[in-house]
Amino acid sequence: MSARLLRCHLASNANAALTLPAILAAAYVTHQGGEVDITYEEGDHLGSDKDAVELATDTGDRVIGDAIFTYLQDVAHPPPPPPQNVDEWLERSTALTVADFKALDKPMKELESHLTLRSYIVSYSLTLADVALWGILRSNRVIVGLRRNSININRWFSFVESTNPWMAEAVSAFNSRAQPKKAPGANYNIGLKNTENGIACRFPPEPSGYLHIGHAKAALLNSYFAHEYGNKRGTLICRFDDTNPSKESEEFRESILHDLSLLGVIPDRITYSSYYFQEMYEACIGLIKSGKAYADNTVKEIMQDQRMKGIASACRDMSPGESLAHIEEMKSGSEEGLQWCIRAKISVDDTNKALGDPVIYRCLNEPHHRTGSTWKIYPTYDFCVPFLDSIEQVTHALRTNEYRDRNPQYHWMQEALNFVRTVLSKLWGWDDPRMPTVRGIRRRGCTIPVLREFILKQGPSQNIVNMDWTRFWAINKKYIDPVAARYTAIPSFNAVTALIDGVEATTSAEMPKHKNPSLGTKKVIFGKEIIISQDDAQHFKENERFTLMNWGNAIVSRIITDLATGKVLSLNLKLAKDSSNMVSIKLYTFDYLISKDKKEKHEDFASFFTKPSEFCTEAWADCNVAQLSLDDIIQFDRTGYFRVDQAYRDGQPAVMFNIPTGKGA
């Protein structure tokens, strides 16, 4: 390879799906014997041209966009030329850089099919096509779930990574140089200590329900600090706290992992508390033998009262031998064992009631969804978390003020077990569209980039945050408005049929779906009859001029009204329910599930449920709506934004969920 002086210049805050592939391409050229100098410029883009990457050549030329890969390919492969189809796959790779989960589905399926019998994208050895695609799949957070569920892609991805260690080195260098984009208004400079070797964080969901927006915040912030805080990439552990077999299932575990992948949260390790049941049991035995824990059969309500009043349990001075005998009964799941629990012997009268001899083991004679009937006793959260944080070498446990009183208890457990302390930083149906779960708000029309932006803008505050839904949906509107195609829908209840004078034959024309031409066109039908909503018809006056969307101006020549009710009966003709130019739909809008922003401790939750909170309007939509698919986001003119929850099929109405926009959301 002839020596060429090349310089690759990148914006440090730009989309990594655009910059990392360029870095890897430069490293590929270097690996082939060339030399590319890498420099960074702080910001989202370079200069005023909005480019994320540019390549300066030895002749003074400036190369940008996809042309960078073509140029580097020529540098890396002087005559004879590289294998055929490299250019094609470099061009197709652009479709995988977007942050839209739905838009990624088709190109990922094409790549999965292409790799069925292949170890490389093109030919029988590594090419720039492999390098660029690997870099995109490595850096696009939204694509992770699709990649892990694609057998051939995942096989190829792991093979390329394991056989080309220089790629991992290039990624590490990129992570240390490129600065993550900070959300405006959020302060991430929280002064974490002992970060020079990277941060190990954990996100410990219980697999007993679906991921809600509070979980999403914790997951995203732990991911941020593990992967983007400081100069060295750390580790994110997703640890399923599966210590309550009566509420847990594999379904919840799988849904949590899926929702995390949609958020772009990529755990470096996935573990389970149940992995360590034997170790935790042995540690509990050790605490009993050393006099730091004891068995107790005090009735639950009495135990709670004693803890609040600082009264010692009658069992507190029980000998270790007696306590060991009781834990054996608990382990067997016997009737006697079910009466007992194990408590840590910390304090009786401390003003911090979290230190009042908390329960650390209880007897539950129920099968576990992972360990079956092996265990009849299970550790509590207060014992499990400090134990496993030490075992799994978590360096920073990010907790909100909600856990402030429990922090001394956390440290007592680790010291009693002779563990190294973890640094406690001072931080922090379920798919119903009214529920604040990830699945619920996605079903209502939230896009994943919005959820990430909204949460990261709040930053890692140690305070409990009341999230402003109005602001949330206003941010969402900014994302969907440029890409939501426009259609027409009219409420079918009391809809009015109008006769258009001068129109005899039915014709059609193609009209833009949006001012953004890339969204394409839709068919607009021009016929003798149209329908108009009762609300609009109520405001008409004879000889009034108004505008029909996609038609132009019209004049009201006659209105027939029911004198008794005031309803408009027709503008010449009756409603044509069997018209082939219309599609039946159901439009759903939702009110707040809870009518009060913040509940006081003494107040009953049930009294604040909004009744009703679901409203359905049957409507007729233009014929183009029949072509929509599940999850499409559109706008009905003069009505609002909607997400398709059920597509129009076999004559069954399409079901649309209204997407709030921040105005009275």
User: Of 138, 131, 140, which Cα lies nearest the Cα of 166?
Assistant: 131
Say whether pLDDT at 341 is over 90: yes
Q: Name which CATH class applies to 585-659.
A: mainly beta
- What does the alpha-carbon distance between residue 281 and residue 276 come to, in Å, rounded to a whole number? 8
pLDDT tens for residues 249-263? 888 888 888 888 878
> Hey, how many other C-beta atoms are within 10 angstroms of the C-beta on 576?
16
User: H or E element: which one contains 259?
Assistant: helix 250-263
In the chain, count H helices and then E strands.
19, 29
- The region of weakest confidence among 132-136, 155-159, 519-523 is 519-523
Q: What is the predicted pLDDT for the residue at 180?
A: 47
Q: What is the predicted pLDDT for the residue at 655?
A: 94
| Average pLDDT of the residues of the chain | 81
Say whether pLDDT at 614 is over 90: no
> Hey, how many other C-beta atoms are within 10 angstroms of the C-beta on 148?
15
Q: What is the predicted pLDDT for the residue at 377?
A: 94
Q: What is the predicted pLDDT for the residue at 595?
A: 65
pLDDT tens for residues 313-335? 999 999 999 999 999 999 999 99
pTM to 2 decimal places: 0.54
| Identical fold, 490-580 and 585-659 | yes
Say whether pLDDT at 292 is over 90: yes
Q: Is the separation of the CB atoms in 120 and 130 below 8 Å?
A: yes
Instruction: Identify the band that residue 242 occupies on the pLDDT scale cut at 50, 70 and 90.
Output: very high
CATH number for domain 5-177, candidates 3.90.550.10, 3.10.20.30, 1.20.1050.130, 3.30.70.2970: 1.20.1050.130
Query: Which tops the pLDDT comparison, 466 or 8?
Result: 8
Say whether pLDDT at 291 is over 90: yes
Say whether pLDDT at 272 is over 90: yes
- The region of weakest confidence among 105-119, 194-208, 276-290, 445-459 is 445-459
Cα 117 to chain center, whole Å? 32
- The region of weakest confidence among 173-177, 248-252, 360-364, 659-663 is 173-177
Q: What is the predicted pLDDT for the residue at 337?
A: 93
Q: What is the predicted pLDDT for the residue at 491?
A: 87
pLDDT tens for residues 387-420? 998 888 888 887 665 667 788 888 888 888 766 5
Instruction: Identify the band that residue 428 occupies on the pLDDT scale cut at 50, 70 and 90.
Output: very low
Say whether pLDDT at 515 is over 90: no
Instruction: Identify the band that residue 362 occupies on the pLDDT scale cut at 50, 70 and 90.
Output: very high
Q: Name which CATH class applies to 194-440.
A: alpha beta
Is the domain spanning 490-580 CATH 3.40.50.620? The answer is no
Instruction: Identify the band that residue 553 occupies on the pLDDT scale cut at 50, 70 and 90.
Output: low
Query: Which tops the pLDDT comparison, 196 or 205?
Result: 205
Give domain limits for the chain: 5-177, 194-440, 490-580, 585-659
User: What integer is the mean pLDDT of 571-582?
Assistant: 53
Say whether pLDDT at 577 is over 50: no
Instruction: Identify the band that residue 471 occupies on the pLDDT scale cut at 50, 70 and 90.
Output: confident
- Out of 57-61, 268-272, 544-548, give the one with best mean pLDDT: 268-272
Distances (CA, A) of 56 to 41, 46, 52, 156, 171: 14, 13, 14, 32, 22
Instruction: Identify the band that residue 232 occupies on the pLDDT scale cut at 50, 70 and 90.
Output: low
User: What integer is the mean pLDDT of 299-311?
Assistant: 92
- What does the alpha-carbon distance between residue 641 and residue 633 come to, in Å, rounded to a whole number? 7
Q: Is 317 exposed, middle or buried (0-12, 13-18, 19+ CB in 10 A)?
A: exposed
Angle 241-380-361 (CA atoms, 0-180°, nearest 5)? 135
Query: Which tops the pLDDT comparison, 219 or 457?
Result: 219
Long-range contacts, 464-470 (Cβ 8 Å, 24+) = 464/400, 464/401, 464/402, 465/217, 466/597, 466/598, 467/213, 469/592, 469/660, 469/665, 470/662, 470/663, 470/664, 470/665
Instruction: Identify the band that residue 451 occupies on the pLDDT scale cut at 50, 70 and 90.
Output: confident
